[in-house]
Structure 1
């Protein structure tokens, strides 16, 4: 049975929240989505960028910030206004085979990414305390799955919010390192580009890591969850009186969440540029290699902080990767879905979620090279992200989907700019294969 938004006419005005409501309570889907972007796979990308090219790639995080905000705001707005996720919105605009192809590419990329993240988490724990990394990967995979299935949604969201603090470990690592702040500022404000295979591939990898399809699906789905969770909330096209407060909250949440994500990513680049790159160690393939290489240069504290950060961000990213795949597939199958429902109330949804996690776990412990797995995921994401982003912008601009609350012109410009940048990145990535 497909979940339907509340019928027209049942929406009631939303109570005005107290003026002294804590600002942290206003943060949710945007903050968690932004923080989940800095998963172990992202850490590997940023660490390799900093180690290989030093401070000179810092500008990429300034470039991606407004682009991330534009496409994530469009995704979140679709969920909050229509009361439906992206898969349902796409299905109202495109033929079913096209939507199925995009959802299939999302699921495949997410499962591969899950495996790479679990591999990295197990690897770094084995590096710190010893023992079999496969056992740690299995533990983290089953722990994450158990929290998603048995922890009530409201408590689960609180857990995810607190896990975002684990990203501050990378800020601490950067300050523990001997960062050249003047050079880092130049790297951020004065873009430098090298037209060679290694540099182009790195820039494309950063873009692909920061602007990923699974983030679009997750934030839109979480806005739908929030509507169901709060009794007085309704899809905004059926309760337009709620629009000023909700759209204001949504913008604050997304700007802060994406800003948090990019600031942490910037500090990852600074930390590895100041330590590994400065000492001539320019080739890093995995997050555990980055952690191990930091130890003799930046000290044991930096090594432990870096390793703990990988575990924390992994626990944050796993449910986002598995959950976004489950929401998308459940929407296409027309079955009940949502982390706010008990497992017995949405068995197919939780079955898809468990299957995604277990398949990722199988990849993580199979001995597959994690960097090769990430390359495959990046290629799939790069190819699928452009039509998915175009779909987001078309759905957000459609009165059929959004009613009168279509995306404003300024956000259309930024969202389409992000789509154009990703298209250029995908073409550049393909071009480097023949360089």
Structure 2
């Protein structure tokens, strides 16, 4: 009998949860903190209902991922390669890797924003990347370490943001009204453009749901643990919802009308209202969110790409750790460039958005395909109700992909092409002038 079991042979509670805590940590990062705080500052409590919608779809897909990892014995990308072929599997793996690598700098900037309130040292992220890489290569049981670390970070986030919310004294009636779709919003355009395509985009993170299948396998869950997987997924999305609603409600109560351009602005805006202690609490929560997402996001990119290439998909495989380190280093160097220059890496952001358009629906479709297959899942394949909910979520992802492509990627590409064309036109003119002189 192991230490995790009681004398009656039942599992210890810590054996019944874990993967969901890791998933919650990657979803609650600097991007979701800024998005939910901005929505609270702009629209008050009126978008709380969107949080519930987004976590419902996240619950559906994390449940699919947990079930796939629990029922099957082979890695997810191995199963996918057998089902749809290796080329499409590699496309998904590369897409997830580049999304993780391109957005990793946001997690680095979140750690930097939390630290810069207490120190003038600008390269703290180098130290934390070094610690993360040491974790990767220095510990044999990497999953167990990550699970325990993420549990600590989740606790810090919940306590820090809950205390801030308590002192903010939110309007409970308006919070309840925010559960009603469309109540208090500025109309359908506001709902569609800001909430469903903004807040859901930072909460309904399909790559994290896809990775849930790996986490369930790392946990050692088998078919008899299916119930544990469902409970764990519910706990995961409940944590996501609580933290997001707390952030949104705090901003609605004390930051109404504030313009928040970066995640550091949220803590700075709270300082005059809550004092130094309130800002410190927020920074503790921000650091926990950023650094936890920092670690797990890089693992998602590295593990899924390695597995898609057939190089292994477990923490013990060499290439999973090497490619995870590649994500970490990419994010660190881009963040250092941003810190030093003060400019955003537009090309990296546009590239990540463009890859998301392709990779997110493909990853969702792959997860839905595998869990619906009788050959893969046997008697545990999806029922009609689950397929219907997952299908709606898939359509939502397609809508988000269309929005990102039409409203963000194409305009940015056209702008960059226009700027390039202007440079090309100016240079010959300058050369002619120099020749005449």
Q: Please, what TM-score do these two structures have when normalized by structure 1?
A: 0.84
Rounded to whole Å, the distance in 2 between the matches of 1:101 and 1:139 is 33
- How many angstroms does 1:16 deviate by? 10
Residue in structure 2 matched with residue 351 of structure 1 by the alignment? 322
- How many angstroms does 1:129 deviate by? 0.9
- How many angstroms does 1:359 deviate by? 1.0
Is 1:211–2:204 an aligned residue pair?
yes
Rounded to whole Å, the distance in 2 between the matches of 1:258 and 1:26 is 16
**Of residues 124, 136, 153 in structure 2, which corresponds to 1:163?**
153
Deviation per CA, 1:395-435: give whole Å up to 9, x if none.
Answer: 11012222332123322222112112222333344555699
**Of residues 38, 47, 60 in structure 1, which corresponds to 2:37?**
47
Q: What aligned pairs does 1:324-403 form with structure 2 within 5 A after superposition?
A: 324-339=300-315, 341=316, 346-367=317-338, 369=343, 377-378=352-353, 380-403=355-378
Residue in structure 2 matched with residue 272 of structure 1 by the alignment? 251
- How many angstroms does 1:21 deviate by? 4.1
Deviation per CA, 1:74-112: give whole Å up to 9, x if none.
Answer: 111111111233322321222333222222221111012
Instruction: Kindly report the root-mean-square deviation, in angstroms, between the aligned alpha carbons of the 2 structures.
Output: 2.6
Is 1:179–2:170 an aligned residue pair?
yes
Alpha-carbon spacing, 1:379–1:54, altered in 2? closer, same or farther (3 Å): farther
Deviation per CA, 1:29-58: give whole Å up to 9, x if none.
Answer: 012212321012221221222122221111
Point out the more displaced range, 87-96 or 292-301.
Answer: 87-96
Q: Please, what TM-score do these two structures have when normalized by structure 2?
A: 0.83
Point out the more displaced range, 83-92 or 203-212.
Answer: 83-92
**Of residues 242, 255, 260 in structure 2, which corresponds to 1:284?**
260
Residue in structure 2 matched with residue 75 of structure 1 by the alignment? 65
- The 8 Å contact of residues 361 and 398 in structure 2, kept in 1 or not, is answered as yes
Secondary structure of the 1:129 match is: coil
Query: Which one has the largest radius of gyration?
Result: 2
- The 8 Å contact of residues 201 and 432 in structure 1, kept in 2 or not, is answered as no
Residue in structure 1 matched with residue 134 of structure 2 by the alignment? 146
Alpha-carbon spacing, 1:380–1:60, altered in 2? closer, same or farther (3 Å): farther
How many residue pairs are counted as aligned between the two chains?
397
- How many angstroms does 1:143 deviate by? 1.6
Secondary structure of the 2:379 match is: coil
- How many angstroms does 1:319 deviate by? 2.2
Secondary structure of the 1:366 match is: helix
Secondary structure of the 2:311 match is: coil
Residue in structure 1 matched with residue 398 of structure 2 by the alignment? 423
Rounded to whole Å, the distance in 1 between the matches of 2:174 and 2:274 is 19
Alpha-carbon spacing, 1:57–1:69, altered in 2? closer, same or farther (3 Å): same
Deviation per CA, 1:147-188: give whole Å up to 9, x if none.
Answer: 232233333322222221122111221111131111121112
Secondary structure of the 1:104 match is: helix
Extract unaligned runs of 5+ from structure 2: 412-437
Rounded to whole Å, the distance in 1 between the matches of 2:230 and 2:98 is 30
Residue in structure 2 matched with residue 104 of structure 1 by the alignment? 94
Is 1:136–2:124 an aligned residue pair?
yes
Residue in structure 2 matched with residue 9 of structure 1 by the alignment? none
Residue in structure 2 matched with residue 240 of structure 1 by the alignment? none
Deviation per CA, 1:346-379: give whole Å up to 9, x if none.
Answer: 3222111111111111111111746956676455
- The 8 Å contact of residues 48 and 284 in structure 1, kept in 2 or not, is answered as yes
Residue in structure 1 matched with residue 225 of structure 2 by the alignment? 246
Rounded to whole Å, the distance in 1 between the matches of 2:354 and 2:35 is 14
Extract unaligned runs of 5+ from structure 1: 1-14, 228-232, 237-242
Alpha-carbon spacing, 1:49–1:370, altered in 2? closer, same or farther (3 Å): farther
